[in-house]
Structure 1
Amino acid sequence: MNSCPTGTYPYKIQSGDSLWLIAQRYHTTIQEIAAVNSGIDMNNLYIGQIICIPEGYDTYLMILSNHMRLLWEQHVYWTRLVILSMVFGLPDTELVTNRLLRNAKDFEAALIPFYGEAVAAKFAELFTSHLTIAAELVQAAKDNNSTAAADAEMRWYANADQIAAFLGSINPYWSDEEWQSMLYDHLAMTKEEAVYLLTKNYEDSIAVFENIEQEALDMADMMTQGIVRQFPQYFG
């Protein structure tokens, strides 16, 4: 399907999607989605496929949800690229690291409309530390410097605590305990991914990355849902 009919909007299928989740996210039903997608096998959707979503959901909600998912996807993809570049000493290490660090500024821009510049900038500051400490940990592991690695890991988890507490303080629908749990899982899996790459266990590095990607989408949806509940006036 190259275009969507009047009264519908295009949506690209992403990892972890199901018709039920899409219908819930955009306040419609599976039956209504199927009705505007004649010729598409709803039981065999694939990542990257474009389907049409009927009117009846909030367009701003769709934009926010897609954008948060994009930012979290970019976060884990660019993190993986940085790890790969560092592990194998690739000449693009500085370039991909700079692109990864831009992720924090992109989150800042996404949060400004809801929380203002000061709050958004604070999140970006904490998130930048999350990224830079991760790079320190990978470098220390590559250098077999266990002391530096342990120090970086301790600061990494302390930073996760700060991020979770900060998010819990700015949105009553974001649980700092839930964010802490998800961030801890994220750190553990990212470390595991780096170790697999350092030890040339490429198959397992791919397997764990798939779990990282799915959790990133879960964090994106949790962030979106909290914003929608806190600012219902923007979403109808």
Structure 2
Amino acid sequence: MYGYSPTYYYCVHRNIPSMAWPLSKVMLNQKLRALWEQHIYWTRLTVNAIVGGQPDEKETTERLLRNATDFAEALTPFYGPAIAARFGELLREHLTIAAELVKALLAGNTAAAEDAQKRWFANADAIAEFLSRINPYWSQTEWKNMLYDHLRLLSIEVTSRIAGNYKENIAINDQIEPQALMMADVMTNGIVQQFPAAFTR
């Protein structure tokens, strides 16, 4: 949006064959995949509710924001409540800025939209930096690239919905889902590498 053309490179997804995974790792991966799926699912529903002026906008947005709390709960066993809560705060900021951006674009408020978009990418930078500090197996550059890609795809989803280009809007979701699952897998592998004793069986 607004002429933003990020330059980044797709990371090489380091996947480990699931047959070699202990049950504990499978369960963690399923949990994180579910959280990232819920992240994009409720983001989409919230965007649609805002753009369409749906009566469930408040409730849908509240459910979306719960995703940040759910992520914090999933990370607490590994990083403790304080670090996990900080990640939840950063993710909640990501979600609230997204809602601001949608409303600004819908209202045609270019200045507000540009400000929200700037803060959105700054938040992505902060998340990437934070994750790289708490886990030596999470690359700041890799997370920044993945989060930028996530924002780029969501931006297209929002603008196509506002424009009423529903065919493109649906098609872009086919790209959003696997990209989100890739982030879940990278998150899983990093945790397992950092805490190998927790995943022996």
Both structures adopt the same fold (TM-score exceeding 0.5): yes
1:81 aligned residue: 45
1:25 alignment partner in structure 2: 18
Deviation string 1:138-185 (CA, Å, 9 cap, x unpaired) is 000000000000000000000000000000000000001000000001
SS in structure 2 of the partner of residue 119 of structure 1: helix
The aligned counterpart of 2:5 is none
Query: In the aligned structure 1, how far is the partner of 2:72 from the partner of 2:165?
Result: 35
Letter in 1 for 2:157: E
Q: TM-score, normalised by structure 2?
A: 0.91
Asked whether the 8 Å contact 1:193–1:205 carries over to 2, the reply is: yes
- How much has 1:58 moved relative to structure 2? 1.2
Shift of 1:62: 1.0
In 2: Cα distance, 1:127 partner to 1:120 partner: 11
- Please give the per-residue CA displacement for 1:77-120, whole angstroms capped at 9, x wherever unaligned: 00000000000000000000000000000000000000000000
- CA distance in 2 between partners of 1:76 and 1:210 (Å): 11
Unaligned runs of 5+ in 1: 1-20, 28-56
- Specify which of 141, 158, 182 is matched with residue 194 of structure 1: 158
After the TM superposition, which parts of structure 1 deviate over 6 Å for at least 4 consecutive aligned residues?
A: none
Which one has a larger percent strand, Structure 1 or Structure 2? 1
User: Scaled by the length of structure 1, what TM-score is found?
Assistant: 0.78
* Number of positions where the alignment pairs a residue of Structure 1 with one of Structure 2: 186
The structure with the largest helix share of the pair is 2
RMSD of aligned alpha carbons: 1.0
Aligned equivalents of 2:41, 2:114: Cα separation in 1: 24
Alpha-carbon distance, 1:25 to partner: 2.2
Which secondary structure does the structure 2 equivalent of 1:161 belong to?
Answer: helix
Percent identity, aligned pairs only? 52
Q: Which one-letter code corresponds to 1:129 in the other structure?
A: E
Aligned pair 1:100/2:64, yes or no?
A: yes
Which ranges of structure 2 fall in alignment gaps of 5 or more residues? 1-14
- The amino acid across from 2:65 in the alignment is L
